Amino acid sequence: MTAPAIAVRGLRKSFGGLKVVEGLDLTVAEGEICGFLGANGSGKTTTIRMLCGLLKPDGGEGHCLGCDIIAEPHAIRRQVGYMTQRFSLYEDLTVFENLDFVARVYEMPNRRAAVKAILERMELSNRRDQLAGQLSGGWKQRLALAACVLHQPKLLLLDEPTAGVDAKARREFWDLIHDMAVDGLTTLVSTHYMDEAERCKRIVYLARGRIVVQGGAAAVVANAGLAAFEGVGDDVDRVAVALRHTPGVEAAAVFGRALRVASLDREALRRAIGTRGGGLVWEEVEPRLDDVFIHMLTVQEKGG
Amino acid sequence: MSAFSFARLMALLRKESIQILRDSMTLRIIILVPIIQLFLFGYAINADPKHLPAGLLSIEDSKYTRTIAAALNASGYYNLRVLRSEAEAEAGLARGELTFVIQMPPDFDRAVDRGESPGVLVDADATDPAAIGNAVAALAQVVADLNRDLPPIRRLQPQTPPFQFVVHARYNPEQLTVLNVVPGLICIVLMFSTLFVTTMAITKERERGTMENLLAMPVRPIEVMIAKIAPYVVIGYIQVILILVTASIVFGLPIRGSIPLLLAALGVFIACNLALGVTFSTVSANQMQAIQLAQFTLMPSFLLSGFMFPFRGMPLWAQWFGNVFPTTHAMRIVRGMLLKGAGWSEIAADVWPMALFAVVVIAFATLLYRETLD
C-alpha cells in the first residue's frame, strides 16, 4: 500500500475566538474520491483551505502528498488543484487566456499541448475564445475544473464545485472526476448533494469542526441504525406538520405525495404513525443517506 | 404604492447608517483626516516665504556691505551667508540651495560716498516668481536703511538713492507664472494618473474573488507586485511624453536639460506612485478604502511640495515632511531640468530620496501581502 495522499491529525483553526475546526483527523488514500459533507459552517471550507496552505492551522500536524502541511505549504500548492467555492478565474479573460495563464504560472514545459488537451477533454474547445464571465454556471465550473487539473496535480480539493449547477451539468462534472480517479488522482470534494455523496467511495461527515462519521455510503447508512417509513396519500402536508412535533419522530419530509419519517427508535415511530399518521398508506422502507444526514443534523441542533 | 413613503425612507436611512458605522476604517479616515490636514496645512502653508537662502559675494571688507547684509537679514526675507566664489553662487542657484545671490561691486563704499549710486546685482531664482516677490519688494527698505547710516551731507539728496539693487530674474526673466506652474502640473498630473490606477491592483482581485485562486497558485508576492506595477510604467511614460510635448508646444515651456535624464528621473517618480498605490491596495479591504488612503497623500503632494505654495515658505518641520513625498522631489527635478537646464549633479540629491521611497514602499507592500487568507 502506498502512503495516503492526505494524513492529518488534530487540525485546529479558530477565527476571532470562534472554533471552526477542532481537532480534525483525516486520512484519504491515494486515488480515492472522498466526499466531504456537513452543514454550513461545519468547517469544510476551512479544512480544505488548510490542506492546500491557504490558511495556517492553529494546531495539528500531518502530511499532504508527502509534504508537511505546516512547513511546506509552497510545495503542496504545486501539486494540488484547488477549486474554490466561488468562481475565481478572471471573467475578463477568455477561456483560453485563463488556462494559458494557469499553465504559465505553473511553468509547464508543454504548455500549448497541455492547454489544447484540457480544452478537448473538458469539451471547451468551442468556447475557447469566449470571455469566462459570459459562460453559464455549468460551463464556468467546467472551466474552473479544467484550470485546477491543468498542471496535473496529484490531489484535487474541490469546494462545493457543483453548487448552483443544473442536474445534467452536475452529472457530467462527476463523470469527469471519476474518469480522472481512474488515472490515480485523489479527490476530496465537499458537497451538499446526496446523489453526489453516494458517488464517493468514502464519505466524511463533519459537524462543528469534527468528523462525526465516515466510511462508504452503504456502511454509513447501515451503521446509523435508523428506521424509516413512507406514507402515501393526499394529505401529506398536514400529516407532516402533525408528525414533526410528535415525540419519537426525528424528521418528516414531504416528497410529492409521499411523506418520509425517520427515527432511531422504530417502535416509537410506529406508535407516532399509528396515532397521528391517519389517512396515509404506510410502509417501512430502507433508510437513505439523506435520512441519515438529516438525522445527524437534528441531533447536532439538539446539542448532541 | 405611494410616491413617497417616510417609513420607507427611514428604513433606507437606518440601513445606510448601520453600514457606515460598521465600516470602522472609513469612519476613522473620515474623522481623523480632516483634523490632521487642518493642523498640518494650517501651520505649514505660508504664501509669504521668509528667510530665503541668499548668498553674498563681496570681494572686499566694506562698511556699507555689512550694513546692507544686516538690513537684509533684519528684513526677515533673507538668510544671508557669505560666498567665496562665483562658481559657488552659480551652483547654489542651479541646485536650488540659494534663492538669491547678491553681488557687491568693487569699491562699493567709495562709490556710495561719492554719490555715484552704484548698482548691486541681485541674481534671483525666478523659477517660482511668487516665492521671491515679497523678498524683492523688501529691497527698497534696505536702500532706505542704508540712507540712514550715511553721513548727513549725503542724506540730503533724496533724488539719488545711495545705491541701487539691480534684480536679475534668472531662468524665467519675464517672471511668467506659467513656467512655474506647468512643470509642477506635469508632476501632479502624473501622480494622479499613476497613483490611482494601482489602488485597484490588489483590491480588484479581492473584490472579484480571484485572490483565492491566485494565492493557491505558486506565485510569490514580489512577482505579483512587479507584475501589477510594470505595465503602468509604460502607460506612465506615454503620459509623460504627451504632457511634455503639449507643454512645450502650447505653453512654450523650454526643455533645457537632457531629455533622456529627465525621462529616467520621471521613471523613478512613476515607480514611486505605482508602488504606493499597490501598497494602499494591499492594506485595504476594498478599492474605496485604497482610494481614501491615496487621497491622504494627494493633499500634501499639492500643498507641501512647492506646487501651490513656495516650499521655502514652510516651517522646517513641514519642509522635512514635504521632502518625504516623491512629488516634492519630482517637482524640483522637472523645474530644474526644464528651466535651469540642470544635469545629473544638480538633480542627484532629489533622485535618491525618490528611489529610496520606491524601494521602501515596495518592500513594505511585499511584507504586507499575505500569502494566506488568514
pLDDT in the model for residue B193? 82
List pLDDT tens digits, range B35-52.
887 787 878 877 788 889
pLDDT in the model for residue A304? 46
Interchain pair B217, A106: CB under 8 A: yes
Between B42 and B223, residue with greater pLDDT = B223
CA distance A102 to chain B (A): 8
Same domain, A213 and A97: yes
Domains delineated in chain B: 52-170 (3.40.1710.10), 177-368 (no CATH)
Same domain, A183 and A235: no
* Nearest-5° Cα angle at B317, B311 to B320: 65
User: Helix, strand, or coil here: B190?
Assistant: helix
Amino acid at position A108, single letter: M
CA distance A143 to chain B (A): 13
Please give the grid coordinates belonging to residue B157: 539728496
Same domain, A191 and A43: yes
Same domain, A63 and A193: yes
User: Helix, strand, or coil here: B265?
Assistant: helix
- Cα–Cα dist A276/A243, whole Å: 6
Q: Which residues pair with A227 in a beta bridge?
A: A263
- Cα–Cα dist A196/A106, whole Å: 30
Does A80 contact chain B (CB < 8 Å)?
Answer: yes
Same domain, A118 and A260: no
pLDDT in the model for residue B156? 53
Interchain pair A55, B213: CB under 8 A: no
Same domain, A214 and A110: yes
Domain count, chain A: 2
B115-to-A23, B109, B141, B249 alpha-carbon distances in Å:
100, 10, 19, 49
Closest partner residue to A86 (CB to CB) among B209, B214, B215 is B209
Phi first, then psi, for residue B277 (nearest 5°) are -60, -45
In a domain, A273, yes or no: yes
In a domain, A301, yes or no: no
Same domain, A146 and A282: no
Same domain, A199 and A268: no
**Which DSSP letter does residue B339 get?**
I
At which of A221, A250, A274 does a domain end? A221
Report if pTM > 0.80.
no
Interchain pair A55, B372: CB under 8 A: yes
Residue A270 domain boundaries: 227-286
At which of A168, A190, A221 does a domain end? A221
pLDDT, averaged across chain B: 86
Residues ≥6 apart with Cβ < 8 Å to B210:
A88, A89, A90
Q: What is this model's ipTM?
A: 0.81
Output the tens digit of pLDDT for each of chain A's 304 residues. Answer: 578 999 999 999 999 888 999 999 999 999 999 999 988 888 999 999 999 888 999 999 999 999 999 898 888 988 999 999 889 999 999 999 999 999 999 999 999 999 999 999 889 999 999 999 999 988 999 999 999 999 999 999 999 998 888 888 889 889 989 988 888 899 999 998 888 998 999 999 998 888 888 899 888 888 888 889 898 988 888 888 888 888 878 788 888 888 888 888 888 888 888 888 778 888 999 888 888 888 887 777 765 4
Which of A223, A150, A163, A181 lies closest to A34 in space, CA to CA? Answer: A181
